[in-house]
Amino acid sequence: MTTPSRPRLSGTVRVVGTGLLGASIGLALSGRGIDVVLHDASPGQQALAVDYGAGRAAAAGDAPALIIVCVPPDVVAETVAAELAAHPDAVVTDVASVKLEPVEELRRRGVDIVRYIGSHPLAGRERGGAISARADLFRARPWVICRDEETPGWALALVEDLALDLGAVPIEMTPEEHDRSVALVSHLPQIVASALASRLVDAPDTALALAGNGLRDTTRIAASSPELWVQILSSNAAPVVAELDALIAELGTVADALRDVGAAGARRTVAEEIASGNAGVARLPGKHGQDRRFEQLVVLVDDRPGQLGRLLSDMGEINVNMEDLRLEHSPGAQLGLAEISVLPEALPRAVEDLAARGWQIASV
């Protein structure tokens, strides 16, 4: 077992807001021996986070060196201002998914923001609250840190140490760069997933019975909180609208081509859209940030206890590394479909060795 390194942070860390992110931060830091104090406007929510081991309740006389604001986007600026005033020796950061609006609101209020550094961990779950908190939520995830020319180096170091102690990967951006980036890679996908999922509300059961992993993959995040996303999207409206307008124009071009597929260039338009999607998805970082593609094989797995465990064990015994795994149940059959991603050079051996062990390979 690897012995964890000593934490970079020291002293007391104050976490304001004990939902999923705040409680997860508290769990991770407390687990490393750091003194974490928790504060939440809801006494019940705070008590629950304390019971889960995310830290202790805040008390008079606490002197935090670092304060992490984990509250809904519409009260971030107000909370940051209050924490800066109440703790004049502390550095304050926040974890909101929009970074420019809080800074601009603090400046409008005339707040000295030298000790404030906005940040954003790109991590989360569909379920919220302290009950869903995990100490490893941020491990290997990007953690954007937004500094400006006035940010002192020692203050920046505290927030970087926070990210590193949580196992995250610090990335520096301006607030403007951050908001444009998340509009594309986070906020637009949420709207697309929700819009697509809304098409299922009145869909016939016969159509839904045909749904596979493609639909589930593209609608997974549609289960997110409407209340939270109204705040996020409202706070980052301009960059999101720019991305939506571009996507709507692109979809319109494809729709026009499909209205008359016999017209000159129509099929080419559709083909180029699909090919452009191929090129775009190829740019996404893979496992460990690698820029490489994997091959897939689909294995039939009986829907009974122990079968998936046996498949995983066999993959280990044939010494083929599983880069990714997705499961889908076959409608109307006691079968599961395990889609396994492997390195291209490992695919022939994986197919041959698994077949030799009695597994049915559905497709390669």
Query: Which residue is listed with tokens 């395990």?
Result: 338
Split at pLDDT 50, 70, 90, the class of 289 is: very low
Quick one: 239 and 261 in the same domain? yes
Quick one: pLDDT at residue 292? Answer: 56
Same domain? For 140 and 77 the reply is yes
| Cβ atoms < 10 Å from Cβ of 242 | 14
E-state strands within the chain:
12-16, 35-39, 56-57, 66-69, 91-94, 116-121, 142-146, 169-173, 295-302, 324-329, 335-342, 360-363
Judge whether 1 lies within some domain.
no
Run of H or E including 140: none
Inside any domain, residue 3: no
**277 in a structural domain:** yes
> CA-CA distance, 300 to 304, in Å (whole number)?
12
The mean pLDDT of the chain is 91
- What is the domain-level CATH number for residue 30? 3.40.50.720
One domain for residues 355 and 226? no
The whole-number pLDDT of residue 286 equals: 63
Of 255 and 333, the structure prediction assigns the larger pLDDT to 255
Q: How far apart are the C-alpha atoms of 40 and 78, rounded to whole Å?
A: 14
| pLDDT per residue as tens digits for the range 180-225 | 999 999 999 999 999 999 999 999 999 998 888 789 889 988 988 8
Range of the domain at 293: 289-363
Residues 61 and 155 in one domain: yes
pLDDT at 362: 81
Residue 217 shares a structural domain with residue 293: no
| pLDDT tens, position by position, 246-268 | 999 999 999 999 999 999 999 99
Residues 136 and 87 in one domain: yes
Q: How far is CA 110 from the centre of its chain?
A: 33
Under the banding of pLDDT at 50, 70 and 90, the label for residue 302 is: confident
Of 210, 222, 236, the C-alpha closest to 120 is 236
End-to-end CA distance of the chain: 37
Tokens standing for 344?
């291209």
Contact between 60 and 80 (Cβ < 8 Å)? no
Provide the number of structural domains found in the chain.
3
Which residues are 16's β-sheet partners? 39, 69
Each residue of 5-48: pLDDT tens digit?
A: 789 999 999 999 999 999 999 999 999 999 999 999 999 999 99
Q: Is position 4 within any domain?
A: no
The token duo for 247 is 């996507």
Q: Which residues pair with 35 in a beta bridge?
A: 12
Residue where a domain stops, chosen among 253, 282, 311: 282
Model pLDDT for residues 138-180, shown as the tens digit of each residue? 998 999 999 887 889 999 999 999 999 999 999 999 999 999 9
Instruction: Tell me what pLDDT residue 126 has.
Output: 65
Query: What one-letter code names the amino acid at 131?
Result: I
Last residue of a domain, one of 173, 193, 216: 173
Beta strands at 169-173 and 142-146: parallel, antiparallel or unpaired: parallel
Report the CATH number at residue 192.
1.10.3660.10
CA atoms within 13 A on the CB side of 201: 6
Whether residue 154 sits in one domain with residue 19: yes
CATH number at residue 340: 3.30.70.980
Indicate if 80 and 228 belong to the same structural domain.
Answer: no
Same-domain pairing of 122 and 39: yes
